[in-house]
Structure formats: C-alpha cells, structure tokens
Chain A
Amino acid sequence: MAKVTFNEDICKGCGLCVDACPKHILMLDKNKINRKGHNPAVMTDQSKCIGCAFCATMCPDCVITVEK
C-alpha cells in the first residue's frame, strides 16, 4: 500500500505525472483551480498505487511526495 500526497498549491497542471503513471490513476482535476490558476493533478484511486514514484520523478515542481 503506497501513499502519494500532492502539494496542490504549487502544481502547474503540466500533466507530466499523468503521462508517467503506469497505472493510469492520475488526472488533472478540471473542477478545481489552485491559487496559481492551474488545474492541479489528483489521484483517482489510491488503492491501485504501487508507489513506483514515476510521477514524482517526472514532476518539475516537486509537488509529489511518495510513501510506501
């Protein structure tokens, strides 16, 4: 069981984490706008996360912390 947390305030919504996720459980939340004015990345199904940290590896802004 892995846990992924997003520092949503500094996410720029580039979506590189979404593409990197091998389980396809990340998306940009179109219903939310953070204080920078972007749609932040969110995880849709935490239970499917394998904690590979691919998302965090590709994130340019160190938004993501991964625990396993």
Chain B
Amino acid sequence: MAIVFQKPASLTDKELHYCPGCPHGIIHRLVAQAIDALGIEGKTIGVAPVGCAVMAYDYFTCDMVEAAHGRAPAVATGLKRSLPENVIFTYQGDGDLASIGMAETVHAATRNENITIIFVNNAIYGMTGGQMAPTSLPGQITQTSPYGRDLKTQGYPIRVCELLSALDAPYYIERVAVNNVKNVNQAKKAIEKAFRNQIEGKGFSLIEVVSACPTNWGMTPQKALQWVDERMIPYYPLGVYKDRSKEDAKEAN
C-alpha cells in the first residue's frame, strides 16, 4: 500500500496550540505541503505574525523570524533583499495584516517586493479574545461590537484583495477558502503558485485565505465552516484578483 496522505515533512511534531477545529492547522499544512512540493525547505525563511499564529515558528521546520505586530512584510522585505536566494514567506492574520500592518502591506505590494504573503482572514481578533477586526462583517457580533458592527460608526469591512489589486505593481493576488475539501484543494494550488512566483522572481504574491474562528464566533467547528460559506464568502468572493502573468505573456508576443 502506498501512502496517499500524511503529515508533510516541513511541519514539526509539536502539537498545534490552536482551538479544536481551527482552520489555522489546515493552512499551516498547506504551506508546509507547498514547501515540500517545491523542495525548498532548506532555503525557506518564514516570518511569523502577532496573533493566534504567533507561535508558527514552533511548527515549521524551516527558519522563522518573529516580526513586531503587523511588520511582517517589512521584515520579509529586509530578508529578501539581503538573502535574495532564499524563499521568504509571511503568515499573517487579519488583525495583523489588515489593521496595524496595513501600511507595510500596501507599500510592500506597491514595490512589488518578491515575497509571498499568506493572509488568514477570519473576521475577528482571535488571540486577544474576539474583538472586532477591520474585516468583521456588517452586523457581526464581537466583544467590541456587542450590538453588531455598526457601519455608521465603525465603517465597512476592508476587502484586502480588492484594495491591493487596484495597485499597478503586485504580481499575483488570489482569495481562497478552507471551508470544504474542494476549497482546500484550490487553496493548496494557490499557495504553491504564490511560492513558485517568488522562486521565478516574479514579485509580490498574496493569498488571502478565508478562514473561521469557531471559539470567538461562538460556534461549533461545523457551524463555523457553514457560516464561512453563507456569510463570509458572499462578502469576500473567492477568485484571482490580479495575475500579471497574462501581461507578461502579452509583452512576450
């Protein structure tokens, strides 16, 4: 019998500290599978964020750097420019990337910095206990919006893929989800492509992964994934938002 599925080699044996049913585990695995598939474990450096994934450095076998809150794209820029032969990725949540780190993200994108960003959007601050995030949906109940997010006082959710795709520079931007097997397989392909873009020197690749937070949403893991399907994906449509490989192909002709 041949092994069809096993834990990827780029993940350590340390048990994940995430809550039961937290899709962070799935996304960690997808990143590790991409690293394995491309055979780049020895030259990959990850940048861990502040948030639930703050201890991601314990879980990947590659080298990891811990960035200050939101500054992962800036740290990744420095790493990539000083170590251009290495593959640099950041793994960030929505509180990290879309709130405190928005400036770093937008400027790294507009410089078309040759890095890979994995952006996990679960519409809430998980680690700090479920406060409203920039990506929380209209009317979503959180610790800091107990009557639901009020668009008049708290503004509209930020759609990061749409926002960044308005820039001329970024090379590849795609939004995927991990709420069912089909979407997980699509996410796997997208993450692998984002790493391949960097190896080929194409530039800035950002994959937004629509995720869930069963604990802070106050739902079972099953109900949370259903909520992703019913509420998150309609507001955050999946798909490729920017792909400059088509422009490259045009120029080549």
Flag A35-61 by CB within 8 Å of B: 1 or 0 each: 010100000000000010110111111
Q: Are B16 and A61 in contact (CB under 8 A)?
A: yes
Q: Given A57-B185, A60-B26, are A66 and B20 neighbors across the interface (CB < 8 Å)?
A: no
Give the residue of B8, B22, B181 whose beta carbon is less than 8 angstroms from that of A60.
B22
What is the count of residue pairs linking A and B with beta-carbon distances less than 8 angstroms?
75
Q: Are B1 and A67 in contact (CB under 8 A)?
A: yes
Q: Are B5 and A56 in contact (CB under 8 A)?
A: yes
Give the residue of A2, A12, A15, A65 whose beta carbon is less than 8 angstroms from that of B222.
A15
Interface size class of A (residues with CB under 8 A): 20 to 34
Q: Which residues does chain B contribute within 8 Å of A68, judged by CB atoms?
A: 1-2, 4
Q: Are A16 and B225 in contact (CB under 8 A)?
A: yes
Q: How far is the CA of A51 from the CA of B6 in the complex (A)?
A: 12
Q: Which residues does chain A contribute within 8 Å of B18, judged by CB atoms?
A: 60
What is the interface of chain A, defined by CB distance below 8 A to chain B? 1-3, 10, 12-16, 19-20, 36, 38, 51, 53-54, 56-62, 64-68
What is the interface of chain B, defined by CB distance below 8 A to chain A? 1-8, 11, 15-16, 18-26, 29, 180-181, 184-185, 214, 220-222, 225
